[in-house]
Chains A and B, each alone.
Chain A
Amino acid sequence: GAVVSQHPSWVICKSGTSVKIECRSLDFQATTMFWYRQFPKQSLMLMATSNEGSKATYEQGVEKDKFLINHASLTLSTLTVTSAHPEDSSFYICSAKGQGYSNQPQHFGDGTRLSIL
């Protein structure tokens, strides 16, 4: 089945630093990738939609200058949390959607747990 790899799986860093998270589709080409955030005991919330070769579309309330998204190839999207602060600590999850039929499901990575001290 479709495999999406996310790296790193866990990161701790100091307040004020920037953190980059990678999302790769390993066995299919992903024209669209999605980034979600999940706080403890809550459901996933979509942050942004990333289409290969174009600017990401951010959901209302998500700061585009804070969460930089790059989708430079059909197999890789990156999320950079800039100048991270403790309130950015969360579980960040990416998903990828392949080419072909429009009803193709999204496949998710295993998430990145980000802790800002």
Chain B
Amino acid sequence: GDSVTQMEGPVTLSEEAFLTINCTYTATGYPSLFWYVQYPGEGLQLLLKATKADDKGSNKGFEATYRKETTSFHLEKGSVQVSDSAVYFCALSSTSGGSYIPTFGRGTSLIVHP
């Protein structure tokens, strides 16, 4: 079945540092890929997505590129802020069967210090 593997956290950075959170996946066919973010005490929010190979999703300074050859969708940000502290989930959505049931990774906690 489909699976998503993301790096274990917590990831602890100083403000303005460069961020990478690795995500790799296993899926049949051509899934869509997503990053969701969960701020403390809140529900998950879609951060960005990519629906086909070589697409780059971007939002709020975060970027991720759909790499089919390496089955990866790593999340990056050039300069993190304290307000980026949250849990980040990588997910994929398979097109199998015509319905979209996402498969989520375990989440990576990001802590940004001033």
Query: Does A pair with B?
Result: no
Chain A interface residues (CB < 8 Å from chain B): none
